[in-house]
Amino acid sequence: MRSGILFIFFFVTISCANERTKTTSSASSSEYALQDTVDYSYHTKREISPYFVGDSTHIDTAYYQITYPIFANKEIDNALQEAIFIDRENNADEAAISFLNGYNEFVEESSTIAIHSAWYKKAQSQIILNTPLFLTLQTSIQEYTGGAHGNHVTIFTVFDTDRLKKLKLEEIIATGKLTELTKKAETKFRKQESLSDTSSLTKDFFFEDGIFALNDNFGLTKDRLIIYYNEYEIKPYSEGVTVIELPYEDISDILNARGKRYVNNIQQ
């Protein structure tokens, strides 16, 4: 037995709680939530590794867990799989197997002397806004595979439920107005970071050539547009994520016809 590693193998299928929760009125307790219009249920899958690590006082093992919506409309459900399984797995079973196999192979390697902390991957995909025209999906993942700290990522998807299409930010902005949106977002960013209008963005941030840029990771909530930057995208890990929130009343003049139709639909 390798020092520091406790191997316990169960010769039965290690299974976990798989739950379904019907949801037709409220996606979550999130501040972004709005009344739903699409029928779906939340499903939770959890799987664990057969290899345990620990000592006389503590025992642990790697696990994969995901909670995600399953839509009654199969076309919508199929179209949103890439937004839920962002590492390009086909389903929850495949995602669990892929992650846990990585841990198991790491444990089995002859070069592995000790494992101080078990791996984990926890994903949650939730609908934060659902209207007759579109929905906004937020997928968040926490993952640890060794090292000083884990990784976290949050991805927003704005999905047109009629056209079965993920929207890009420029698809809701009037022609020639993207620069104006960028300026509004930069003004909000500089205020949040306590920067003057002329402070350089080169030293402390990761913007190319020190020029502020919008991220394509955006969401539409019940009262604002949010632009989201994950850890490492524009700042060091220690500085965390950056969220820029622009109320609809502040950007109403730069939305195109589709963007205005979406916002009006929210506010009805």
One domain for residues 117 and 172? no
Amino acid of residue 69: P
> Is 182 a domain residue?
yes
Look-up of token digits 């709005």: 34
Q: Chain-wide mean pLDDT for the chain?
A: 88
The reply to whether 81 falls in a domain is: yes
In residues, how long is the chain? 268
Both tokens assigned to 174: 């009037």
DSSP annotation of 26: B
Asked if residue 196 belongs to a domain, the reply is: yes
Question: Are 200 and 257 part of one and the same domain?
Answer: yes
**Domain identity same for 189 and 116:** no
Contacts of 167 (CB under 8 A, 6+ apart): 134, 158, 159, 160
Q: Are residues 152 and 238 in the same domain?
A: no
Query: Does some domain include residue 146?
Result: yes
Examine the domain organization and report whether 77 and 110 are in the same domain.
yes
Task: Judge if 49 and 113 occupy the same domain.
Answer: yes
CA distance 4 to 202: 44
Tokens of 217: 């990771």
Residue 7 counted as domain residue: no
> Which 3-state string (H, E, C) describes 162-194?
CCCEECCHHHHECCCCHHHHHHHHHHHHHHHCC
**What CATH number has the domain bearing residue 43?**
3.30.565
Work out the pLDDT band at 146, boundaries 50, 70, 90.
confident
- Is 192 part of a structural domain of the chain? yes
198 & 151 share domain: no
- Any domain includes 107: yes
For the chain, the maximum distance between any two Cα atoms, rounded to a whole number of angstroms, is 67
Name which of 257, 252, 254 is nearest 224 in CA terms.
252
Kindly state whether residue 15 falls inside one of the protein's structural domains: no
Range of the structural domain that residue 78 is part of: 39-127+137-161
pLDDT digits (tens, 9 = 90+) for 166-193: 999 999 999 999 999 999 999 999 999 9
Q: What are phi and psi of 172, to 5 degrees?
A: -115, 5
260 and 177, same structural domain? yes
Q: Are residues 182 and 154 in the same domain?
A: no
> Are 43 and 75 in the same domain?
yes
- Domain total of the chain: 2
Q: What is the CATH number of the domain that holds 244?
A: 3.90.640.20
Band of residue 267 on the pLDDT scale cut at 50, 70, 90: confident
Q: What is the token pair recorded at 127?
A: 């609908």
Specify the pairing of strand 59-71 against strand 120-130.
Answer: parallel
Q: Model confidence over 95-114: pLDDT tens digits? A: 999 999 999 999 888 666 66
Would the CA dihedral through 207, 210, 216, 221 be positive or negative?
positive
Question: Is residue 56 located within the same domain as residue 154?
Answer: yes
Summarize pLDDT for 36-79 with one digit per residue, the tens: 578 899 999 999 999 988 777 788 999 999 999 999 999 999 99
Report helix, strand or coil for 254: helix
Q: Are residues 142 and 189 in the same domain?
A: no
90: helix, coil or strand? coil
Q: Is the pLDDT score of 33 beyond 60?
A: no
